[in-house]
Chains A and B, each alone.
Chain A
Amino acid sequence: MDAASLNQAIAELRPTLLRIARLQLRNDAWAEDAVSETLISALEGAGRFSGQSQLKTWVVGILKHKIIDQFRRGGREVSIEAATEAAQVETFDELYAPDGHRVDPPLDWGDPEASYSRVQFFEILQACVEELPAALARVFMMREWLELDTAQICKEIGISATNCFVMLHRARIRLRECLEHRWFADESAS
């Protein structure tokens, strides 16, 4: 790939990067900043792109660092929202009977990994993350997409480890329900 087409290929990743950054940061202005910085770094560093990994994977790797930088700049606001969210009591009474057992069986998802080859699956997954309260989505994406450990998450956003575990659990329960209703229930029906 020559320099001009490499630059163009980087610029064309912008909408994809923006969607991911919004999903993670849940703030449009922050997402714009993180993506702009990513594109600048990628264009400046394009000469170092070896072509050994996919261009998109390489640029998304840069985006991850820029998102963490952006969390640091937004620190105070992020930690206030996280503390507010962590204080919410969510008991999932619709899922469990008073004795603690599940009311309805979770569906058998069959071979869920087969969904990786479906573009629509990732659309639904992202829509489910977008529906989470912002603070839950941030903590969950920090853990599962940025692959930070909980000690790092606690440090970045200033919440206790206990609150972190509680929020991650709530995010997983909600996402499991969302994917089941919006993807796997349709899959098994079709």
Chain B
Amino acid sequence: MMVQWLKITCRQAQVLLSQRQDRSLGPLDVLRLRLHLVACDWCSRVARQFRFLSEAVRRIGT
């Protein structure tokens, strides 16, 4: 059983997925996100897609 304060929603997870590309998350947020991603295939897809988006934009003009 997961402790309640470690549980986050997809909405919250996707905020953290964006922020981790811009700053280091605190240890608690890292843990929350990791636990969410293990259980949620949809957010795992979004995680990969956000990374892809950064890489794709970097290639504009190359």
Contact = CB atoms under 8 A, between A and B. Distances in A.
Interface string A141-182: 101110101100000000001001100110011011001000
Interface in B46-62: 46, 48-50, 52-62
A89 to B, nearest CB: 14
A150 B55 CA distance: 17
B10 A122 contact: no
A100 B45 contact: no
Interface in A103-160: 105-109, 112-113, 115-116, 121-122, 125-126, 129, 140-141, 143-145, 147, 149-150
Interface residues of B, number: 29
Interface in B1-34: 9-12, 14-15, 18-19, 21-23
Contact of B14 (A113, A126, A164, A173): A173
Contact of A109 (B45, B55, B57): B45
- Main SS class of interface, B: helix
A78 B52 CA distance: 28
A60 interface: yes
A164 B62 CA distance: 26
A49 interface: no
A165 B19 contact: yes
A7 B27 CA distance: 53
Nearest to A107: B45
A56 interface: yes
A106 B60 contact: no
B22 A101 contact: no
A165 B18 contact: yes
A108 B22 contact: no
Interface of A: 16, 20, 23, 56-57, 60, 63, 92, 95-96, 99-102, 105-109, 112-113, 115-116, 121-122, 125-126, 129, 140-141, 143-145, 147, 149-150, 161, 164-165, 168-169, 172-173, 175-176, 179
